[in-house]
Structure 1
Amino acid sequence: MKMNRLLLCTDLDRTIIPNGYQPEHPEARTYFKQLCCLSEVTLVYVSGRNQQLVKQAIKEYALPVPDFAITDVGTKIFQLVQEKWQELGFWQEQIAADWKGKNHGQLQQALSRFPELSLQEKSKQNSFKLSYYLPLDADRGKIIQQAETLLTQMGVAASLIWSVDEPEQIGLLDVLPRHATKLHAIECLRRQLGFCHEELIFAGDSGNDLPVLTSSIRSVLVANADQQTKRQAQQLVEQNGCVDSLYQAQHNDFPLGGNYSAGVLQGVVFFIPEIGAKLKLL
């Protein structure tokens, strides 16, 4: 399809930030910046990081400044106007309904019965994001199921999102309002900006990206994603009838390889070949 405009939504860590174990092609981020400079592209960062850590990543890795940032695993949305961050308050109002008036402390108290869960630092929490560490060897399936049951009994509509901090080798569990995942935030922003479904592409690498990667949104799973995430993504798109919406980047099918931002570029070019021609990647 011919591209008139593109809402490019991408995760940060181990998607366009090369902080996983695999190598990054030395020219990958240069080409990614060229992509983001195209007048047709509106860039959105979608991250588990908070606002301060997203700012830090942009500076540390010389990333292009986005037009919008969805932070804290989908619980906050910011618009960047002349590099000033303006929070979109309507999103907080929208997701508040899911917790039915229960606050952070009440949910924390209820989940204290699970000794495997240890609370993350204060800087990684917000009013609608309750975040824990969960050891990789814990029976996470059982813990998540029991926690979901407990929250439902309290009348709370929650999403429990599991992911892995690869450098630290620790599991992360985020308790969010049910409609505050990355998927819901992206769809809300898409509608707010007036983009149609076909003008959106998402890129990610890990467990907390799976709700988007396995939806009907055209999505890219970078090649450096772990094997478990790749298997889960494939199974879920088959179950959800969305096989054609997911592109899994490959190491050998692209001049820059498929890791990190090169994988994002590979997927964007797959869905919109004319971009490859513009960037001289085809």
Structure 2
Amino acid sequence: MRRLLLCTDLDRTLIANGAQTAAKGALALFRQLVRREDVTLAYVSGRHRALIERAMFDFDLPEPAFVIADVGSTIYQVLPSGWQKNEVWCAQIAPDWHGLTHDDLCRLLAVFPVLQPQPREQQNRHKLSYHVAPEVDAAKLMGEMDACLTGAHIRANLIWSIDEPGGLGLLDVLPASANKLHAIRFLMQQSGFPERDVIFAGDSGNDLEVLLSGLPSVLVANADPQVKSQTAAANPDTLYLAQGGYLGMNGNYSAGILEGVAHYHPALDVWLRAQQLKFLGDH
């Protein structure tokens, strides 16, 4: 039996908290899918641990086996005894900051007045998070920040995305080796999953590296239009754009994830169709 490591972003991917309508029954069918013994669920999010736990409660999300949080700067294994942080990952990404602390980097970047630090709970030892006015020239700003950091011998990964509900730009500063893609590959290595047995689902700018990496991925139908444009030339063998229509659903959020799973794994497509028929027969 082939195993599947199903990695999914949360906001506006699994969680239906965007402007588009969610497909009825999609999340319930997703819950059934990830209860299978051959499916390992991992959440991959920009949220920190407390916000992920809050989302799991508020949206009745299934408990994952792993959580990649803080845009890839922390990894947890979710055990019956609690969440266990992967310190091997922390040690692996730490050298990129050349021995400087989070607060050291904050002082270094204080020369950029457009950077407004996000609340303390959004920060961690390997992640600086800022709010930026959306009209700021993000490419120019990040170029100047990169030059500043490089001058201090710091290898950093700058990640830009948009908080649509809040109308704000989000800018995260991480160690260069800390991002969603590297964290997923680390998890694959630690858990023994080859590329063909992995699927990533996402919707926004901070998912781009994974979506374009060659790992089997799905872009949900409600994805950011700019991300759709940026991935238009991607390899169709490794990036699937949910279209809607699968199982009568619209391809948004969890419906798009299910559509992607069915696209890459025909055996699970058969199983999903049977589960939906069973549900309809029971009702």
TM superposition score normalised by structure 1: 0.95
The equivalent position to 2:19 in structure 1, one of 21, 24, 37, is: 21
1:230 alignment partner in structure 2: 228
2:281 alignment partner in structure 1: none
Q: Which moved more, 1:199-208 or 1:162-171?
A: 162-171
Matches within 5 A, 1:48-197: 48-82=46-80, 84-197=82-195
Q: Gaps (5+ residues) in structure 1?
A: none
Report how far residue 199 of structure 1 moved: 0.7
Q: Gaps (5+ residues) in structure 2?
A: 278-283
Identity %: 48
1:261 aligns with 2:254: yes
3-state SS, counterpart of residue 4 of structure 1: coil
Count matched residues: 275
**Matched-pair contact (CA < 8 Å) for 1:131–1:175:** yes
3-state SS, counterpart of residue 107 of structure 1: helix
Report how far residue 253 of structure 1 moved: 4.7
Residues of 1 paired with 2:96 and 2:187: CA distance? 19
What does the per-residue CA deviation read over 1:171-202, in whole Å, with 9 as the maximum and x for residues that have no partner? Answer: 10000001110000000010000111111110
3-state SS, counterpart of residue 7 of structure 1: strand
Report how far residue 101 of structure 1 moved: 0.5
3-state SS, counterpart of residue 231 of structure 2: helix
Code of the residue aligned with 1:190 in structure 2: it is: M
Residues of 1 paired with 2:50 and 2:224: CA distance? 27
What does the per-residue CA deviation read over 1:196-217, in whole Å, with 9 as the maximum and x for residues that have no partner? Answer: 1111110001000000000010
RMSD: 1.3
Report how far residue 234 of structure 1 moved: 2.2
Residues of 2 paired with 1:34 and 1:154: CA distance? 49
Residues of 2 paired with 1:113 and 1:199: CA distance? 45
Report how far residue 83 of structure 1 moved: 6.1
Code of the residue aligned with 1:62 in structure 2: it is: D
Residues of 2 paired with 1:83 and 1:29: CA distance? 26
1:279 alignment partner in structure 2: 272
TM superposition score normalised by structure 2: 0.94
3-state SS, counterpart of residue 112 of structure 1: helix
Residues of 1 paired with 2:250 and 2:22: CA distance? 9
Residues of 1 paired with 2:64 and 2:107: CA distance? 37
**Matched-pair contact (CA < 8 Å) for 1:34–1:279:** no
**Matched-pair contact (CA < 8 Å) for 1:65–1:83:** no
3-state SS, counterpart of residue 42 of structure 1: strand
Residues of 1 paired with 2:114 and 2:108: CA distance? 14
Report how far residue 252 of structure 1 moved: 3.6
Residues of 2 paired with 1:233 and 1:152: CA distance? 29
3-state SS, counterpart of residue 234 of structure 1: coil
1:244 alignment partner in structure 2: 237
What does the per-residue CA deviation read over 1:219-256, in whole Å, with 9 as the maximum and x for residues that have no partner? Answer: 00101011101111224x3xxxx442100111345521
